[in-house]
């Protein structure tokens, strides 16, 4: 069933989720952003919704309200928003507990968390990503499942606790990996070398880790115990003590992984 939806937030997630919902047959009724200019920009991508100038939606015809703001800002939105009694209110966070929305006093709350890295300047296909759904009751769950399915997403029903664990794992898999690639680029650029040299290596790293157990796929001086090479690397990083510390810490973690997680305790 098609829904009338209000989007709260104008960042990465809102930017892609709102048009995807429209393409799935729903109506984006209103967009609220703390910057009206950004809300207007998002509306231009859509089929002419209203730019909401506040968070009082008493007169709104929307049935689903999606909060897609920074995790830190969810609480302040929740403490201000006014919704029709039967509305469904969800957030899109990987980590904020669903109970944060229950502060509104609404019965129908939930979570609609797309498990993917989403940036405004990259296309996102919602039919290719896992969507983690949580709901406060059976009716809300049914509605959110239908909405998720309409996007073609692969849906998993979770609890707040499981979602937080998945989000923690996602931080390692995505945020930290991306940071490592960023550092690799910094090291190369420091010597005015060509960063493109690393691209085939980065691709193969991810493909191999997905194709086989990443623990057995590990190569490099730390897993081999090549201490002389590691000492040389630490010396080469003299220009940045923070990176020297990081190099030692990650090498240690690789060596612990090799001997099994029990050795950590
Ligand atoms: N990006 C991802 O990869 C990703 C993936 C899955 C889930 N999520 C979750 O989706 C949610 C939104 O993430 P995002 O990446 O879209 O964030 P984002 O791009 O940083 O956008 C954050 C949005 O929150 C608004 N905001 C910040 N503080 C606010 C406040 N005090 N009151 C009202 N609005 C406020 C920002 O407004 P301004 O633009 O005016 O600052 C902006 O519209 C987060 O809960 C995040 O955990 C993100």
> To which residue do tokens 């006014």 refer?
82
Q: Which atom of ligand 1 is nearest to the CA of 116?
A: 5
Q: How far is CA 255 from the centre of its chain?
A: 29
- Helix, strand or coil, per DSSP, at residue 84: coil
- Cβ–ligand 1 contact at 76 (below 6 Å): yes
pLDDT in tens, 133-186: 999 999 999 999 999 999 999 999 999 999 999 999 999 999 999 999 999 999
Q: Are 96 and 74 in contact (CB under 8 A)?
A: yes
What pLDDT, on a 0 to 100 scale, did the predictor assign at position 1? 81
Q: What is the pLDDT of residue 264?
A: 46
Say if ligand 1 is within 6 A of residue 69 CB.
Answer: yes
Rounded CA gap, 19 and 22, in Å? 5
pLDDT grade for 265, boundaries at 50, 70 and 90 = very low
Topology given in CATH for the domain delimited by 4-158: Rossmann fold (3.40.50)
Among 143, 73, 133, residue whose Cα is nearest residue 108? 143
Tell me: domain 164-264, CATH 3.30.70.20, correct? no
Residue 239: count other Cβ atoms within 10 Å of its Cβ: 11
**Which residue's C-alpha comes closest to atom 48 of ligand 1?**
13
| The pair of three-digit structure tokens given for residue 120, joined into one six-digit string | 């405004």
Cα 189 to averaged position of ligand 1 atoms, centre (Å) = 31
Q: Which residues contact 35 (CB under 8 A, 6 or more apart)?
A: 10
If you measure from the C-alpha of residue 67 to the centroid of ligand 1, how many angstroms do you get, rounded to a whole number? Answer: 9
Q: Which atom of ligand 1 is nearest to the CA of 67?
A: 11
250 alpha carbon – ligand 1 mean position (Å): 30
| The pLDDT of residue 73 | 97
| Spacing, Cα 213 to ligand 1 middle (Å) | 34
Q: By the 8 A CB rule, do 103 and 78 touch?
A: yes
**Which among 81, 39, 35, 41 has a CA at the least distance from the CA of 62?**
81
Nearest to 147 by CA among 236, 252, 28, 40: 28
What would the pLDDT profile of 179-208 be if each residue is shown by its tens digit? 999 999 999 998 899 999 999 999 999 999
What's the rounded Cα separation, in Å, for the pair 250 and 202?
Answer: 17
Domain positions in the chain are 4-158, 164-264
What is the rounded average pLDDT of the residues 104-108? 94
Residue 92 near ligand 1, beta carbon < 6 Å: yes
- Scanning the structure block, which residue is given the tokens 């990443």? 214
For residue 65, the CA-to-ligand 1 centroid distance in Å is 15
The closest of 25, 31, 101, 16 to 62, measured between CA atoms, is: 31
Give the CA count within 13 Å in the CB-facing half-sphere of 30: 22
Q: 0.85 cut: is pTM over it?
A: yes
Which residues on neighbouring strands pair with residue 91, listed in sequence order?
67, 111
DSSP line for 137-170: SHHHHHHHHHHHHHTT-EEEE--HHHHHHHHHHH
114 lines ligand 1 (CB under 6 A): yes
Nearest protein Cα to ligand 1, atom 24: 69
Round to whole Å and give the CA distance between 49 and 30.
Answer: 5
Q: Is 10 in the pocket of ligand 1 (CB under 6 A)?
A: yes
């Amino acid at each position: 069933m098609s829904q009338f939806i209000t989007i709260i937030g104008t960042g990465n997630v809102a930017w892609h989720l709102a048009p995807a919902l429209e393409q799935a047959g729903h109506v984006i009724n209103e967009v609220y952003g703390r910057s009206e200019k950004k809300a207007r920009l998002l509306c231009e991508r859509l089929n002419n919704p209203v730019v909401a100038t506040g968070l009082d939606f008493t007169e709104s015809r929307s049935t689903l309200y999606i909060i897609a703001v920074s995790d830190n800002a969810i609480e302040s939105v929740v403490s201000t928003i006014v919704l029709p009694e039967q509305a469904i209110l969800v957030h899109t966070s990987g980590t904020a507990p669903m109970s944060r929305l229950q502060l509104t006093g609404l019965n129908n709350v939930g979570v609609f968390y797309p498990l993917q890295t989403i940036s405004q300047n990259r296309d996102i296909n919602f039919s290719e990503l896992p969507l983690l759904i949580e709901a406060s009751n059976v009716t809300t769950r049914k509605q959110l499942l239908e909405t998720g399915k309409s996007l073609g997403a692969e849906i998993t029903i979770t609890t707040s606790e499981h979602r937080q664990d998945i989000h923690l794992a996602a931080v390692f898999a995505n945020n930290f990996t991306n940071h490592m690639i960023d550092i690799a680029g910094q090291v190369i650029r420091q010597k005015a070398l060509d960063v493109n040299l690393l691209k085939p290596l980065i691709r193969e790293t991810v493909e191999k880790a997905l194709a086989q157990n990443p623990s057995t796929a590990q190569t490099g001086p730390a897993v081999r115990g090549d201490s002389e090479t590691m000492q040389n690397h630490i010396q080469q990083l003299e220009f940045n003590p923070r990176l020297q510390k990081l190099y030692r810490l990650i090498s240690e973690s690789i060596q612990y992984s090799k001997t099994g997680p029990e050795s950590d305790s």
